[in-house]
Amino acid sequence: MASAPNVNRENRKTRRVALSRPLKVVMGSIGAEMRYELLTRNISINGFFLDFDKPGRFPFTPSSIMEVWLELEPGSAIFFNGKMARVVHPDDPSAQENGPGIAIKIVQIDRENERLLGEFIDTNLAKSEGKDGDVA
């Protein structure tokens, strides 16, 4: 059975948007004042992948529930709670595709923020059609 090239990650139930311009992500433990600013270029309605050169130094554990602010446009962020879903170390074969980092799953989001995220993804998916999946 032959398969189409480069579709292994696109077979997911939820389509991901690969952005050419990274989005700012601010994260922290619930109720904590310490916040971390990171970047993502890969998002979906269910979560996102953080670019993180040394994921072993990520300041959260798999059981941590985090407060997350994702800046969809400059000065306009949505809020939700997330949890670490997967760690991709630099020596992991999947790091060849997207680089090392941390996958974050959205575990709680209100309807308005979910709507805004969905619209952002839909808009960027529409822009990317015919551009090999990259979004300007």
- Residue 92 to residue 132: CA distance in whole angstroms: 25
Q: Are 50 and 66 in contact (CB under 8 A)?
A: no
Helix (H, G, I), strand (E, B) or coil at 35: coil
| 3.90.550.10, 2.170.8.10, 3.10.20.30, 2.40.10.220: CATH of 17-129 | 2.40.10.220
Per-residue model confidence (pLDDT) at position 131: 55
Q: Considering the chain, what percentage of its residues have pLDDT values greater than 70? A: 84
Question: What's the predicted TM-score (pTM) here?
Answer: 0.79
pLDDT at residue 126 above 50? Answer: yes
Q: Is 30 exposed, middle or buried (0-12, 13-18, 19+ CB in 10 A)?
A: exposed
Average pLDDT over residues 8-34: 79
Q: For the chain, give the mean pLDDT.
A: 83
Q: What residue ranges do the domains of the chain occupy?
A: 17-129
